[in-house]
Amino acid sequence: MSHRSLLIFPEDSADAIVNAIHNAKKSLRVKMFLFTDPALINALIDAKQRGVEVRIMLNPSRRNGEVENIETHKLLEAAGIEVRYSNPNFVLTHEKSMVVDDELAFVKSLNWETKNFTETRDYAVVTAHKHEVDEIILCFEADWERRDFNPGEDAKLIWCRGNGRTRIANFIDDAKHSLFVQNERFQDMVIIERLVRAARRGVKVHVMARPPHTLKKEKLVEGVGGLRIMEDVGIKIHKLKHLKLHGKMLLADECRAIIGSINLAPGSFDDRRELAIEVHDADIVERLTKIAHHDWKNSHPMDLTDAGLLDDLQRRMEESGIDKLVLDKDDYKKHHEK
């Protein structure tokens, strides 16, 4: 059996995760940003009832103060499962991971919400490599006990806060021919700079992002600015046609990839608990290459002109934040009069 395997959603189902929980014999450690899926809640309760030690760490709220995971917390706790909110040392814990019996670990981009299995492009890498599993366990125990976690310079995985920005920047710098990047947000200037430099040295860079109207108003300027900077140097910016993009995936030269929870934004690198994994496994990379080309074929170029942005931003419930972009509204009116 391969030491690592890949799950792609919605093509794959939640069955692989549910079955892993059902097959647990000794312990389960889960760290999750959002958790509401009934099948997974029931699977964890069943595991507890058959004697598996189950510990769950949930993010308590978003940056805007919106409280989440309350009902799931109550259901799990009522079943006798140990549940704690994530380490308050971080603005929020965005990591999505699970360790089964100290032997198998899931590193994911997806939350445990039903829509993430059925409506969004998302990914998970399953690893049985001992050093990777052990690293996730060490971080879980540190966060559980509110202790510092420092995997050091020899860290196998990609962590935030920690080595995240450096590892992803170096990954981009090492690209020689092609880069496919799927991410919700492109706001970190170090990473944008690296993508620009990759394009300028001849790497074919394909960026897939969420449309600007999905950005929070306080992140609109940097989000749109990052996309426009990349487009100005010839990087193609697309959006998915039929799926919501939630996955965070980088694929370089069709031979290595990064998958995890990290958005390409300063907050993710500097303030959040995040986790990603770099893989070189031929079978995983081959499947990711196929899905990257499939998604690119089934996507639209993003219109980042003033008129295109104003069209897109009309979908926002309010106009707040749009004026900060200093868009040419007269040009937009002329465009629509034509």
d(CA 164, CA 266): 11
Confidence of residue 73 (pLDDT cuts 50, 70, 90): very high
Residue 1: predicted pLDDT: 43
Beta bridge partners of 30: 56, 98
> What does pTM read for this prediction?
0.93
Contact 281, 4 (CB under 8 A): yes
Q: Find the mean pLDDT for residues 155-163.
A: 96
Omega before residue 10 within 30° of 0, cis: yes
Which pLDDT score is estimated for 114?
96
Closest of 337, 142, 124 to residue 246, by C-alpha: 124
> Sign of torsion, CA 14 15 18 20?
negative
At residue 5, what is the residue type? Answer: S
HEC readout, 44-62: HHHHHHCCCEEEEEECCEC
323 pLDDT band, cuts 50/70/90, is: confident
Amino acid identity at 121: R
Q: What is the pLDDT of residues 55-72, one digit of tens each?
A: 999 999 665 556 789 999
Distance CA 210, CA 184 (A): 5
Task: Round to whole Å and give the CA distance between 212 and 327.
Answer: 13
pLDDT classification of 338: cutoffs 50, 70, 90:
low
Tokens of 292: 């990257």
Whole-Å CA distances, 295 to 80, 206, 224, 243, 291: 42, 11, 22, 9, 6
Residue 182: pLDDT band with limits 50, 70, 90: very high
Q: Do β-strands 178-182 and 204-208 pair in parallel, antiparallel, or remain unpaired?
A: parallel
Q: What is the average per-residue pLDDT within 277-284?
A: 98
Supply 40's token pair.
């997974």
C-beta atoms surrounding 182 within 10 Å:
29
Give the integer Cα–Cα distance in Å for 174 and 251.
11
Amino acid identity at 18: V
**Lowest-pLDDT range of 14-23, 222-231, 319-328:** 319-328
Is-contact 210 227, C-beta < 8 A? Answer: no
pLDDT category of residue 243 using cuts at 50, 70 and 90? very high
- Stretch (H or E) spanning 94: none
**Using H for helix, E for strand and C for coil, what is the string for 132-173?**
HHHHHHHHHHHHHCCCCCCCCCCCCCEEECCCHHHHHHHHHH
* 35 and 44 Cβ atoms separated by less than 8 Å: no
Q: H or E stretch including 209?
A: none
- DSSP helix/strand/coil, 313: helix
Mean pLDDT of the chain: 93
Task: DSSP letter for 64, please.
Answer: T
Other Cβ atoms closer than 10 A to 208: 23
How much is the average pLDDT of 84-100?
96
pLDDT, residue 322, reads: 79
Residue entry with tokens 């058959």: 50
How far is it, in rounded angstroms, from Cα 117 to Cα 110? 8
Q: pLDDT digit string (tens) for 187-207?
A: 999 999 999 999 999 999 999
- Strands 248-252 and 256-260, sheet pairing: antiparallel
Rounded Cα gap, residues 9 and 116, in angstroms: 7
